[in-house]
């Protein structure tokens, strides 16, 4: 099959949005068909968008370890009043009325760390005062002369059992990263399948074109035989029944051409649909390449090893197994009790008439406070965590079995592809010999018929045999071309064989 002189194509770098305009008429090589398909095919764009969507999950998972800043500001006013006797047993009542004013700001910063710890800083200045009047003998006014105060705190917390360790805390990020890798392999698989599909459609069109040409040749031979039989009948050397047989042969050849033309139109439409999904269809599209027989030297052991190492399906399945293993480890960790140690520093301030001395108290640790402690929690039966662990282990086992089953399927696929290539190669050679000898047989029968040593029936039968031999030879060539593509796809070498690079 045709594979040399392929120009490298960066499938990822192709401008997938810009469609190649459809030409008025085009003679298309296999290389050009693949390149146009990679640029225009909608499935490539769909797979690329799915890959980008999955890759964004890694960035999302990193957000769990970002610094978080929050702030809250509030203002308040509260009116209160109370009545009480001046002293016990007194009939004089003292009435008090107060109005409290307050404004506060809380600024908070916190961050989680990959080893299972977290830190939190909080700065909270407060401005508050009150105004009031005590009614009695005499009336006594009152207010707050030092309205500014505040606090500054820092707390660090560390998980010691459940949630402890880099492997557990970074599991969502690792899973997202591996999912992004799997999405990249899925995109590569879409490209590989597209190339293989394009080649298959191209060779189907080649077969349809060559088959129609063969049917036209068969019609010319049948018409020639009919003309000669008609002349012989007119001169009285042949019975009219022989002319009728030749006419039937011509009618059958014309019917075969009608079928071949329909098959050609269908094959051309299928290829055009893949190459120009969003562009106007070309007025004509013909192929320029022909399948050729080139012996492939690849033994079963080498082909199997190549497939196990290169097949993107296996690479994606191995990533799925890695993810399942990580999920099982995380689920195992979740069965442990929650035990965390924490330490808090709190700096306080005296009351002042401005904010500046408050900040000096806080930053200078004038009134420090410290708190350390442990926090423990555990569900008594812990069935939720145990159920999650059981499900994770079952998923891991399923991934392991699935990977093994996929490896066995690929080994079988490679062995089948190798046998198909070998059988197709032998089939091409056998079909070539059959066609050659049928051609010679027809030439011999025609000479014998001209010399009166053969019959019209035998000549027509040999012509039919030659037509069938030509079709069988063409089918064998196309089957070989497709079997080579299937083998290269099975061993994971299709892109390298076509000099295509996916990035």
Residues listed for the chain: 503
Angle 160-166-167 from CA coordinates, rounded to 5°: 110
Q: How far apart are CA 282 and CA 276, in angstroms?
A: 9
Supply the pLDDT for residue 5: 36
Contacts of 240 (CB under 8 A, 6+ apart): 233
Which pLDDT belongs to residue 137?
Answer: 47
Does residue 1 register a pLDDT over 60? no
The DSSP-derived string for 147-168 is -EEEEEEEEEEEESSTT-SHHH
Residue 470 to residue 162: CA distance in whole angstroms: 74
The confidence score (pLDDT) of residue 236 equals 79
Q: Which of 56-65, 194-203, 258-267, 356-365 has the lowest mean pLDDT?
A: 56-65
Name which of 271-285, 377-391, 468-482 the model is least confident about.
271-285
Alpha carbon of 159 to those of 61, 114, 213, 337: distances in Å? 20, 11, 78, 10
Decide if pLDDT at 171 tops 90: yes
Mean pLDDT for all residues in the chain: 85
Look at 55 and 31; give whichever has higher pLDDT. Answer: 31
pLDDT, tens only, 112-129? 999 999 999 999 999 988
Instruction: Return the percentage of the chain with pLDDT > 70, whole number.
Output: 89
Least confident of 219-228, 332-341, 390-399: 219-228
How many helices, marked H, and strands, marked E, lie in the chain?
11, 9
Exposure of 451 in the CB half-sphere (CA atoms within 13 A): 7
Q: Which residue has the higher pLDDT, 294 or 370?
A: 370
* Torsion 392-396-397-401 (CA) sign: positive
pLDDT score, position 17:
37
Residue 371: what pLDDT? 96
Split at pLDDT 50, 70, 90, the class of 402 is: very high
Contact assessment for residue 239 and residue 305, using Cβ atoms and an 8 Å cutoff? no
pLDDT level of residue 345 (50, 70, 90 thresholds): very high
Please give the average per-residue pLDDT across 72-79, as a whole number: 92
Tokens representing 328 are: 């099982």
Beta strands in 230-385 (DSSP E): 284-287, 338-348, 367-377
- Among 42-46, 109-113, 168-172, the minimum mean pLDDT is found in 42-46
Q: What is the mean pLDDT of residues 26-45?
A: 82
pLDDT band at residue 7 using 50, 70 and 90 as cut-offs: very low
Q: How far is residue 367's CA from residue 379's CA, in Å, rounded to a whole number?
A: 40
- φ, ψ of residue 73 in degrees (nearest 5): -125, 140
- Measuring CA to CA, how many Å separate 200 from each of 33, 48, 271, 484? 11, 23, 9, 11
Residue whose structure tokens are 């929650």: 338
CA atoms of 406 and 410, how far apart (whole Å) = 6
Q: Which residue matches tokens 């660090």?
A: 156
Residues 195 and 495: beta-carbon distance below 8 Å: yes
Within a 13 Å sphere around the CA of 58, how many CA atoms are in the beta-carbon half? 13
Q: What is the pLDDT of residue 346?
A: 96
Q: By mean pLDDT, which of 161-165, 398-402, 412-416 is the weakest? A: 161-165
The whole-angstrom separation of Cα 95 and Cα 318 is: 81
Q: How far apart are CA 245 and CA 233, in angstroms?
A: 13
Which pLDDT tens digit goes with each residue over 433-459?
Answer: 999 999 999 889 888 888 878 788 888
CA–CA gap between residue 503 and residue 423 (Å, rounded): 36
Do residues 460 and 246 make contact, with C-beta atoms less than 8 angstroms apart? Answer: yes
Instruction: In whole angstroms, give the CA distance from residue 137 to residue 325.
Output: 82
Q: Supply the pLDDT for residue 25.
A: 53
> Residue 200 pLDDT more than 60?
yes
Containing 21, the helix (H) or strand (E) segment is: none
Phi-psi region of 165 (alpha: psi -120 to 50; beta: other; left: phi over 0): left
Nearest alpha-carbon partner for 223 in 256, 244, 249:
249
pLDDT tens by residue, 290-339: 888 776 777 889 999 999 999 999 999 999 999 999 999 999 999 999 99
């Amino acid at each position: 099959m045709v594979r040399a002189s392929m120009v490298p194509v960066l499938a990822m770098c192709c401008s997938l949005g810009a469609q190649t305009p459809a030409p008025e008429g085009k003679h298309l090589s296999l290389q050009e068909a693949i390149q146009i398909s990679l640029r225009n095919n909608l499935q490539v764009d769909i797979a690329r968008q799915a890959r980008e969507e999955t890759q964004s999950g890694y960035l999302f998972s990193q957000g769990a370890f970002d610094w978080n800043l929050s702030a809250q500001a509030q203002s308040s006013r509260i009116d209160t009043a109370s009545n009480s006797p001046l002293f016990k047993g007194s009939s004089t009542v003292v009435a008090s009325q107060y109005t409290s004013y307050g404004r506060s700001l809380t600024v908070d910063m916190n961050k989680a760390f990959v080893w299972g710890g977290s830190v939190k800083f909080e700065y909270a200045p407060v401005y508050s005062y009150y105004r009031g009047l005590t009614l009695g003998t005499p009336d006594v006014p009152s207010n707050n002369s030092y309205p500014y105060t505040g606090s500054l705190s820092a707390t660090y917390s560390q998980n010691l059992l459940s949630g402890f360790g880099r492997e557990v805390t970074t599991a969502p990020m690792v899973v997202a990263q591996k999912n992004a890798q799997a999405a990249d392999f899925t995109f590569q698989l879409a490209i590989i399948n597209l190339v293989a599909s394009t080649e298959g459609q191209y060779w189907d069109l080649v077969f349809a074109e060559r088959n129609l040409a063969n049917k036209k040749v068969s019609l010319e031979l049948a018409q020639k035989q009919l003309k000669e039989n008609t002349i012989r009948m007119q001169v009285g050397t042949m019975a009219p029944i022989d002319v009728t047989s030749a006419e039937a042969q011509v009618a059958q050849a014309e019917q075969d051409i009608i079928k071949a033309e329909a098959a050609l139109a269908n094959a051309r439409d299928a290829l055009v649909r893949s190459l120009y999904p969003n562009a106007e269809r070309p007025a004509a599209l013909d192929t320029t390449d022909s399948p050729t027989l080139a012996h492939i030297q690849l033994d079963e052991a080498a082909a199997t090893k190549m497939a196990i190492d290169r097949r993107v399906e296996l690479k994606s399945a191995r990533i799925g197994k890695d993810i399942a293993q990580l999920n099982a480890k995380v689920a195992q960790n979740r069965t442990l009790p929650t035990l965390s140690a924490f330490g808090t520093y709190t700096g306080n301030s005296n009351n002042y008439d401005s904010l500046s001395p408050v900040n000096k108290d806080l930053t200078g640790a004038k009134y420090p406070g410290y708190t350390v402690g442990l926090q423990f929690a555990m569900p008594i039966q812990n069935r939720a965590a145990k159920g999650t662990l059981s499900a994770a282990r079952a998923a891991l086992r399923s991934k392991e079995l699935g990977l093994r089953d996929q490896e066995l399927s690929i080994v079988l696929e490679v062995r089948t592809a190798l046998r198909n290539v070998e059988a197709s190669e032998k089939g091409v050679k056998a079909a070539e010999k059959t066609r050659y000898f049928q051609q010679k047989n027809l030439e011999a029968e025609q000479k014998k018929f001209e010399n009166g040593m053969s019959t019209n029936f035998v000549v027509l039968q040999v012509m039919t045999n030659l037509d069938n031999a030509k079709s069988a030879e063409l089918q064998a060539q196309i089957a070989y071309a497709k079997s080579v593509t299937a083998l290269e796809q099975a061993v994971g070498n299709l892109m390298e064989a076509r000099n295509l690079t996916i990035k």
